[in-house]
Amino acid sequence: ARRLPFQTTSKLYKTIDSRHYFTHIRIGAHEGKQQLFSVLVLTDTSDIIIPCDGCSDCDSSASPRRKFSKRLSASVNDTSPNVKKRGASGPQLMDKICLGEHCSPSESAYVNFMCATKFNKFLKGVAVDGIVGIGSGDGKFNLIQKLDDGAKLIAHQINICLPSRGRTGTLTIGGYEQM
């Protein structure tokens, strides 16, 4: 079946310290079994890092999960410099990822990510599970590129409307929402 072009929008929130922004992603290939994660949105990387069971140095507010669809044979050294800069290490996995609290597997793509067993307190006090990068980078780690490859986004656009005065913002991939 041919898939129709689409765009995806997720709510964007300020973190408790008001210095960062976060959204939600869902990981999993099967409807109803996807796992929800809160993730910092970073523009300097395309990496996705999620804490796994046994993660040392992960903030206690993180909700580690570990049942993902595919474990890759790639070594920890097959990661981007940004992952190393954040002090993260762990196995590289692949699973279907989509943007938003209520997205479905049909709006997702298989993307590589790090299942962190060490996070070097990068997220300490931020009260999110992990990070999602929306910057350019290696295709196998790039959620936006993978969504476009697999689902054909309407447009090659990212729209960020930052939250203000207690309101939520939006992060839209594949176009923009008319306000």
User: pLDDT per position in the chain (179 positions), as tens?
Assistant: 445 567 788 999 988 777 889 999 999 888 888 889 999 998 888 889 888 877 766 665 555 555 565 554 444 445 555 666 667 788 888 888 999 998 887 788 888 888 888 776 666 667 788 889 888 776 666 888 888 886 677 877 888 899 887 789 999 888 765 65
What pLDDT, on the 0 to 100 scale, is given for residue 127? 77
What pLDDT, on the 0 to 100 scale, is given for residue 11? 92
**Cα dist. 77→26, 42, 84 in Å?**
26, 21, 9
Q: 167 near 8, Cβ under 8 Å?
A: no
d(CA 106, CA 161): 25
> Which runs of consecutive H residues, i.e. helices, occur in 4-124?
81-85
Q: 29 near 43, Cβ under 8 Å?
A: no
d(CA 98, CA 106): 9
What pLDDT, on the 0 to 100 scale, is given for residue 57? 67
